Every structure is written in structure tokens, then in C-alpha cells.
Homo-oligomer: A and B are copies of this chain.
């Protein structure tokens, strides 16, 4: 499907607003997503107002897409609506736990990708923001997310003002295991990452970061042990705050 193979992360947008029927169509695509037992434990917050986007920006490390894109969609795992329905119907429920959170996270992400592809199909550009789970606490505050609602991922949406090259990917052989998982030997790892390591843009990246190789840039600069452990603790704290763990 061309939309899938044409995807690039769009980080520069025209200022044009997104028409209401276009937004609705994007959310309808999200709403059609496969989900666990058709419980639809998913919500989407569509933020367009400048003051709220500005308030969200620090949670996304002030990446400028948040304030420049006309539309910010925050996809949430949402047990709150289900709980309310069950309370009204005298149904004894137990959804405030990790398994439900984890499956609702998967459901929210499938919905997000439907929305992303529908937006691209309609001529819009999108960018995923992985920062959503790093600073979930701030997002909970800005978007007024009640207990039982956890922000999972965010996409910025707008008409593209830029069309970057396709991003490189590891060869399919790096991600596909036939029948069972077969762990790679050192030689295979080297061959799978060879093309990526030899790209001039990635070599430049190493020089700029004063690192010997690309793996060090990823592990020692961009996604460090220290940060990953700090944000893991934060994540668990927010899961506690939102009621999914004790």
C-alpha cells in the first residue's frame, strides 16, 4: 500500500488548519481499529489551541512540531469510560491493572496508526512523538487525564511544508525470524548493520557526537542507560498515579 511505503516523519507544517470533516475522518479511521474484545479502551485528545499546545510542548522536550502543527493527537489507553459504564450498569469490574493497561496500550497504538495512515492518505503529514511516555505526568496534567487514562503516543498532524528523504531501515532479515526466533551470531549482526553504519550521514553523526561508531551514539548519547532508567521510574510512577499499579 503506497501510503505505508511513502511514510516519512513530517516535522515542518504549513499553517493551514485542518477542516473539521478531515479530523472526523481521521478519528473514524482510529475508531475502526481492531481492539481487545471490542471494549474500545481508547481515547484520543485532539488539541488545536495555541495555549494548550504551548503547555504540552515541554512534555515533548519542546520539539517545535507541537506548537507548529495545527493538530496534536494524543492517543490514550482509557479504562475510565468503561468503568463509568460498568458502574452505571451495576457491573463488577476490575480493569485497573497492568494487563488491561498493556492491552489497551496496544489497542490505542493500532488506533493511532490507523489515524496516521488515514491522515497521510488525505494529504497530511504526521510525526510520532515517543516522548509521550517519557513525560506522561505533564501530559496527564495539561490534558486533564483522569485516573484510568494513560497517554500512550502522540502524533502531530498538518499539511507538509517539507518532504524529507525516506529514512533508512535495517534489511528485512534483521526483523524477520522464520518459524522461531534464531539469535544472530556476531557476523550476522555486523552484516545487518553494515549499510546503516556506512551511510555518510551516520558517519557525520558519529563525528558530531565525538563517538567511535553509531551504536555508541544511540546507547551513550541519545538513549542512555541513565535516562532510560530515570524515565522507567517516571513511567511506573505515572502508572501508579493513574491507578494501574499499586
Contact = CB atoms under 8 A, between A and B. Distances in A.
B37 A179 contact: no
A101 B59 CA distance: 20
Interface residues of A, number: 116
A32 interface: yes
Nearest to A52: B179
A81 to B, nearest CB: 7
A175 B1 contact: no
A123 interface: no
Taken together, the copies of this chain in the complex come to: 2
A112 interface: yes
A133 B167 contact: no
A174 to B, nearest CB: 7
Given A34-B128, A37-B130, A27 B109 contact: no
Contacts of A192: 81
Given A99-B235, A105-B105, A167-B38, A219 B175 contact: no
A189 B85 contact: yes
| Majority secondary structure of chain A interface residues (helix, strand, loop or mixed) | helix
Nearest to A29: B4
Interface in A148-173: 149, 152-153, 167-170, 172
B181 A144 contact: yes
A63 interface: no
A143 interface: yes
B109 A177 contact: no
A17 interface: no
Given A103-B133, A220-B92, A170 B45 contact: no
A52 B242 CA distance: 39
18 contacts: A1-B118, A4-B118, A5-B28, A7-B32, A31-B169, A40-B175, A52-B179, A85-B189, A89-B213, A92-B220, A93-B219, A94-B229, A95-B219, A98-B235, A99-B232, A105-B106, A106-B133, A117-B117
